[in-house]
Chain A
Amino acid sequence: MSEERYDELMRVAAELPREIEPSRDLWPGIEARIGQKAVTEPRSSGSWVRQFAAAASLVAISVLATLWVVKENQVPLNGWPVSSDFRIVHASVNQTFQEQIQVLPPESRIVVVKNLADIRASLEEIRRALREDPGNPMLQQLLVTVYQQELNYMSDISQMSQLVPGRNDI
C-alpha cells in the first residue's frame, strides 16, 4: 500500500463533516436531568429590577470603597489590579449587560457596543498612564470615575433593554 493512498485516505477523512445532529432533540432529556439543580431565572421585569437594584447598591457601596482603599485580595481586571469585590460586581453587571443587549435592535446594539468600547479605550489610556506614574492621585481618581461610568453605562443599557418589546409582546 503506497503512502500516497494513505494520504488520500487521511485527506478524505479530514473532509468528513465535523457536525452531525442527533436524530432527536436531546435537550428535553438533559433539562429533565439537570432541572432540579438549575435556577431557571424568570425574565419578568420585576425580577430583573430587584436584581438590578441589588447589583446597583452593591456597586455603590463597593466600588469607591474597595477599588483603591482595600489593597488586599487584589485580582487583575483587563491586566489591572482591582479588589476582588469590584471584580465580582463588574463581572455581574457585565454579564447582565451582555444578556440584555441581545434584545436590542441590531442598529442600537452597534451604537451601544461602540460607546462601551470608547469608555474602555479611555480606561486603557488611563491605565497606561498609571503604569508610567503609579502614584499620581489624579489619574487614580480618574480611573475610579471611568470605571464607575462603565458600570453605570452597562447598568443603564441593561435597564433600558427591558423596555424593548419582545417578540411575544407584539
Chain B
Amino acid sequence: MKAVVDPERGNEEALIQAARKGDARAFESLYRMHVGRIHALCLRMTADRQWAEDCTQEAFVRAWEKLDLFEGRSAFSTWLHRIAINEVLSRRRREKRHQTHLSSADVYEDMLRKTGVDQSTGLGMDLEDAVSLLPEGARDVFVLCAVNGCSHEETAGLLGIAVGTSKAQLHRAKKLLRQRLET
C-alpha cells in the first residue's frame, strides 16, 4: 500500500521542509500527492505515453535537486508544473522523437483533408485524441489555457512565448479542434 498522504497545505509544507533536509520519504509523499497532475500535463503536452513518463520522472528528480531554490512564493504544485514544462520543452529540443507526431499545422490540415473520416460515432473524435494531434505550439497553449486554466500571461511565461503568440495559438488550436471534432 502506498503512503497515506494528508493533502492539507500545512502537511505539504512540513514535507517540503523535511525533503529539503534529505528525507526521501517526505519527498515520496510529495511525489504521490502531485504525480497525477504532473503526468497529465506531460502526457498532454507530449502526446506520447513513454515520453510523458520519462519527463514526469525527470521533473521530480530535478525538483529534488532544486528544492533549496523553492522559496514558497508560488504554490509547490505551480513550481512543479514549471519544472515539468521546462523538461518537456528541453527534451523536445534535445530529441527528435516528437517528429513522429505531426509537427506543423500544414501537415495536420493536410491530414484532415486526406483522411477526414470519423472513426468514432456520433460526436466525432474524442477531444483528448484530437488534442494529441494538434501541432506542438497549439497543443501546449491549449493544454495550459483550456485544460489547466492558466491565463495567457501565465501560459506565455511558462512556455517562454509572447502573450500575443499564446492567444494566436489558442485560436489556432480551437479552430483545428473544431474542424477535427466535427468531421
Contact = CB atoms under 8 A, between A and B. Distances in A.
Interface size range on B against A: 35 or more
A16 B21 contact: no
Nearest to B22: A39
B36 interface: yes
B76 interface: no
Contact of A30 (B11, B64, B147): B64
Majority SS of interface residues in chain B? Answer: helix
A18 B24 contact: no
Contacts of B35: 21-22, 26
B146 interface: yes
A12 interface: yes
Contact of A5 (B14, B18, B22, B178): B178
B31 interface: yes
A132 interface: no
A91 B21 CA distance: 12
Contacts of B17: 91, 95
Interface in A94-110: 94-95, 98-99, 102
Contacts of A13: 127, 131, 142, 146-147
B91 interface: no
A14 B39 contact: no
A38 interface: yes
Contacts of A26: 31, 35, 39, 53, 56-57, 60
Given A29-B57, A34-B61, A99-B14, A14 B146 contact: yes
B18 A1 contact: no
A138 interface: no
B8 to A, nearest CB: 10
Nearest to A6: B174
B28 interface: yes
Nearest to B10: A98
B92 interface: no
B23 A18 contact: no
Nearest to A11: B146
A5 B179 CA distance: 11
Contact of A22 (B18, B28, B53): B53
Among B37, B52, B128, B174, find the residue whose CB has the most chain A CB atoms closer than 10 A: B174
A99 B13 CA distance: 12
Interface string B112-134: 00000000000000011001000
A17 B44 CA distance: 11
Given A18-B40, A30-B57, A6 B24 contact: no
Interface in A117-145: none
21 contacts: A1-B178, A9-B127, A9-B177, A10-B174, A16-B147, A18-B37, A18-B40, A19-B37, A26-B57, A29-B57, A30-B60, A31-B24, A33-B57, A34-B65, A37-B65, A38-B27, A39-B24, A40-B25, A94-B14, A95-B18, A99-B14
Given A6-B174, A6-B178, A38-B22, 7 more contacts: A1-B175, A18-B147, A24-B53, A26-B53, A27-B28, A34-B24, A34-B27
